[in-house]
Every structure is written in C-alpha cells, then in structure tokens.
C-alpha cells in the first residue's frame, strides 16, 4: 500500500514538474515574441505564480 502511494506521488510530482517546465517555455516564448507587451506578461506571470 505504501509503495503504491509513494509511486503515485512520484508520478504526480514528475508530471507537475514537466507541466510547469512546458508552461514556462511557452510563457518565455510568447514573451520573447511579443516584446511590446513585456511588462504586462511578466506581471501576469507573477500573479499566476502567487496564486
């Protein structure tokens, strides 16, 4: 039982880490493409990280 739970938490943490990495890459890519909206995107990113 304990092994199954720890395995589930391991998979969940790896999935969360991968999702966060992909989200950061997409956010950085959109930020570099739209340089004019730089501060606004940075502010939105900071708000979403604080949530």
* DSSP state string for 12-51: HHHHHHHHHHHHHHHHHHHHHH-GGGHHHHHHHHHHHHH-
> Quick one: pLDDT at residue 36?
53
pTM of the model: 0.47
Give per-10-residue mean pLDDT for the chain (51 aa): 79 94 89 61 69 61
> Quick one: pLDDT at residue 29?
83
> Quick one: pLDDT at residue 22?
93
> Quick one: pLDDT at residue 49?
73
Tokens for 43, please give them.
């502010």
Identify the CA nearest to 21 among candidates 11, 13, 33, 10. 13
């Amino acid at each position: 039982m304990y092994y199954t739970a720890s395995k589930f938490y391991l998979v969940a943490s790896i999935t969360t880490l991968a999702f966060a990495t992909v989200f950061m890459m997409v956010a950085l890519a959109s930020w570099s493409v739209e340089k004019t909206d730089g501060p606004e995107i940075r502010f939105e990113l900071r708000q979403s990280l604080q949530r």
